[in-house]
Structure 1
Amino acid sequence: MNFSGAFSWINIRFLLDGLWVTVQVSVFSIIFSMILGGILGTIRYSGIPYLSKIVGLIVDIIRNLPLLLIIFFTYFALPQIGIAFNIFWAAVAALTIFESAMLSEIFRAGLNAVPDGQTEAGMSSGLTYFQTLTIIIFPQALKSMLPAILSQLISLIKDTSLAVIISLPELLHNARIIYGENTNYVVPMFLAMTAMYFVICYLLSLASGYLEKRNYNY
């Protein structure tokens, strides 16, 4: 196995190009799924008649579907009804849909963990329900939710590799092209991918552990 040839600058740059796509997809998916997941979780927590149950049903359906199926659906099925995405945005949309459902449960659990007396205190002081939620309830819930949110986002970053099935030029896709041209590069490419994924996910894991420890101390 020619490791030195596998780690030529051309190959490393090609891998870094794939890593950059992975990072971009992850960042957009994180932003959108945090927003959508927060909205869905808040709706379920608020117990809005009919709407909460509908949202709950949708969330339960999505959470019990394979992410790979959702990726296929966004890229191949949605164009059939006039909603077409390119490969990049199809991956972002699929990850956002799936992760929003997961995050909504984290948000709902975090909000439910705040004592009911906090809501009653806010309402009795003259705040509206929305003000009570945003000023009093959500900041308290966020402290307990952060470690779980970060853990879910770590999973999201690893899940981007599933988009290789629609030929998204992310890290795994580019590595496959390299070792597809030279089978002697299979092991070096897997080592390189392992290192890149590990660095990103381990740093987030450290952040998650730090936040969990900090919240416990408080």
Structure 2
Amino acid sequence: MPMDWHYIIEVLPFYKTALWLTIKLAAIGIFFATMVGFICSTIQYFKVKILSKIVQVYLEIARNTPLLIQLFFLYFGLPKVGVMLSGEMCAIIGLTFLGGSYMAETFRAGMEAVSKSQVESGKALGLSSFQLVRYVIFPQAFSYSVPAYGANCIFLIKETSVFSGIAILELTNTTKNLMGIYYKTNEALFMLVVGYLMILLPFSLFLMWLERRVRYAEFGR
């Protein structure tokens, strides 16, 4: 059957709203996941007593439970004990909780790739742990982490599709609702694919550019 372009134009405002909501939730979730990942990776790298064990437990729980189950716990479970959260807040917390664990491993691997001799040189100069991270470890770890960090960001953006499980009208849930109302399956799925491409394709191109820039800054080529 030919594509019903009149229908696509008619439902375009719904997809526009869903697209911006998806971008907003993904951006906020990735931002906080990055912060959590950086803090956790720093604790692991310096092997901070007690805190490193807590971080390890967090990483195991976050990485070994599906995001949808985490969202169900936040959205349906917490109200049973009197904690009420909006769907968007649950989505951000869930994405941060899951994403932080992946970012932590990414940054930790980047930190450990930094030459030990440079770290020892920094200590010999009297730099504090914070100064070591700020001026010696993090700039180099960032360049090592860019490819994996970008892959994690793309993964988290794709994971926003499960937000439909807690009734958030992002791209996937909007598509499901429109399919149920109008039975225009091909058109709805086409718009869903276009919506995610509009987010992921420019972001992927930006990451490719950033990786080349970081590689050039590090190796001069």
Distance 1:6 1:210 in 2: 37
RMSD: 1.5
Distance 2:122 2:81 in 1: 46
Deviation readout 1:169-217 (Å, 9 max, x if unpaired): 111111222221111x111111111012113212222222233334444
Give the structure 2 partner of residue 192 of structure 1.
191
Correspondence 1:138-153 to 2 at 5 A: 138-153=138-153
Distance 1:21 1:94 in 2: 16
**Identical positions, percent:** 33
Correspondence 1:37-52 to 2 at 5 A: 37-52=37-52
Distance 1:82 1:182 in 2: 38
Give the Å deviation of 1:46.
Answer: 1.1
Equivalent pairs, count: 216
Distance 2:167 2:97 in 1: 19
| Partner-residue secondary structure (3-state), 1:49 | coil
Distance verdict in 2 for CA 1:209–1:64, change over 3 Å: same
| Partner-residue secondary structure (3-state), 1:83 | coil
Give the Å deviation of 1:59.
Answer: 0.4
| Partner-residue secondary structure (3-state), 1:8 | helix
Give the Å deviation of 1:161.
Answer: 0.9
Consecutive unaligned residues of structure 1, counting only runs of 5 or more, are none
Instruction: State the TM-score, normalizing by the size of structure 2.
Output: 0.92
What is the identity, as a one-letter code, of the residue corresponding to 1:178? L
Instruction: State the TM-score, normalizing by the size of structure 1.
Output: 0.93
Alpha-carbon contact 2:15-2:195 (below 8 Å) kept? no
Alpha-carbon contact 1:37-1:102 (below 8 Å) kept? yes
Give the Å deviation of 1:115.
Answer: 1.1
Give the structure 2 partner of residue 6 of structure 1.
7
What is the identity, as a one-letter code, of the residue corresponding to 1:70? Q
Deviation readout 1:26-47 (Å, 9 max, x if unpaired): 1110111111111111111111
Correspondence 1:38-77 to 2 at 5 A: 38-77=38-77
Distance verdict in 2 for CA 1:163–1:51, change over 3 Å: same
Distance 2:176 2:112 in 1: 45
Alpha-carbon contact 2:23-2:199 (below 8 Å) kept? no
What is the identity, as a one-letter code, of the residue corresponding to 1:211? L
Deviation readout 1:45-83 (Å, 9 max, x if unpaired): 111122212211220221011111111111112223333
What is the identity, as a one-letter code, of the residue corresponding to 2:150? L
Q: After TM superposition, what 4+ stretches of structure 1 lie above 4 angstroms from structure 2?
A: none
What is the identity, as a one-letter code, of the residue corresponding to 1:149? Y
Consecutive unaligned residues of structure 2, counting only runs of 5 or more, are none
Give the structure 2 partner of residue 19 of structure 1.
19
| Partner-residue secondary structure (3-state), 1:126 | coil
What is the identity, as a one-letter code, of the residue corresponding to 2:197? F
Deviation readout 1:141-189 (Å, 9 max, x if unpaired): 0011122111111111111110101110111111222221111x11111
Distance 1:67 1:61 in 2: 11
Give the Å deviation of 1:99.
Answer: 0.5
Give the structure 1 partner of residue 96 of structure 2.
96
2:164 matches 1:181: no
2:75 matches 1:81: no
Alpha-carbon contact 1:151-1:208 (below 8 Å) kept? no
